[in-house]
Amino acid sequence: MVATRARLTEETLDLAVRALATRDPDLRAIVERFGLPPLWDRPPGFATLVHIVLEQQVSLASAQAAFDRLYAAVDVLAPDRFLELDDAELLSIGFSRQKARYVRDLARAVAAGTLDLENLASLPDEDVHRALVAQTGIGPWTASIYLLMVLGRPDVWPSTDMALAAAVAEVKGLARRPDATQMQALAIAWAPWRSVAARLFWHDYLGRRGRNTPRPIPASGLPSAPARPVG
């Protein structure tokens, strides 16, 4: 990850997509098939981080259902209110015992100020990553998703994301899904816009399954693709 505080916007997302489409014919083909990817930004703060923890190793639909039940159980999803929920309530909402412990530890850290979520936006990528993975139950995937979707950093690559790896395999015609080390190596080609490349691959993954929400390509279209070498 690049140490940067830059934030993607709709404008810079489009510029990055155009740059990647010029550089990589496979990424260009995604845009031609499914249009431009959404920004997929999320609001900063405790509630979103809890949602991302719920998404660990489960389907997005299951995580969303649990998150909706959690919101229904509390007036405001804040650390002190979360800590009032007992084990039985959290289990009924959809938390495993492990995730209940993780989010309780997170809530205590935020409440005590040992994790300052408001300050993360001012920190370089590596410092944000370090602050998040220091918390029990927050690993590289969760930290990367927070950097990519919440803080909008442009060059983050969640190499352990299973849907992303599946999409890379499909788009690149690989014989098998790449592991995390292979994902890191492949992504070097898309720096300094690896967050945008990830959005394009997710966009393709959802598009092939009829679940994406593309934005139209501007009337100006994509820049001309470079000619492929012959022979």
Whether 55 and 120 map to the same domain: the answer is yes
Structure tokens belonging to residue 112: 């005590």
In a domain, 161, yes or no: yes
Of 81, 115, 150, the residue at which a domain comes to its end is 150
Same domain, 127 and 111: yes
Q: Is the pLDDT of residue 37 over 50?
A: yes
| Cα distance between residue 153 and residue 125, in whole Å | 8
Tokens of 95: 């938390």
Q: What is the pLDDT of residues 47-85, one digit of tens each?
A: 999 999 999 988 889 999 999 999 999 989 999 999 999
CATH number of the domain that residue 181 is part of? 1.10.1670.40
∠ Cα 77 124 191 (to 5°): 110
Domain, as residue range, for 192: 10-40+155-208
Q: Is residue 105 over pLDDT 80?
A: yes
CATH code of 68's domain: 1.10.340.30
- On whether residue 229 sits in a domain, the answer given is no
Residue 184 counted as domain residue:
yes
Candidate from 72-86, 135-149, 158-172, 207-221 with smallest mean pLDDT? 207-221
Mean pLDDT of all residues in the chain? 91
For the record, the structure tokens of 186 come out as 């492949």
- Asked whether 114 and 131 are in contact (CB, 8 A), the reply is no
At 175-231, the pLDDT tens digits run: 999 999 999 999 999 999 999 999 999 999 999 888 877 677 765 667 665 544 433
For residue 215, list its beta bridge partners: 36
* pLDDT on residue 227: 44
Q: Is residue 218 part of a domain?
A: no
Estimate to the nearest angstrom the gap between the alpha carbon of 208 and the chain centroid. Answer: 19
Query: What's the rounded Cα separation, in Å, for the pair 29 and 26?
Result: 5
Question: Is residue 119 domain-shared with residue 105, that is, in the same domain?
Answer: yes
Residue pair 34/207 in contact by the 8 Å Cβ criterion? yes
Same domain for 172 and 94: no
DSSP assignment of 44-88? -SHHHHHHHHHTTTS-HHHHHHHHHHHHHH-SS--HHHHTT--HH
SS3 215: strand
Tracing tokens 């690896």 back to the chain, one arrives at 194
List the beta bridge partners of residue 36. Answer: 215
- Number of domains the chain is built from: 2
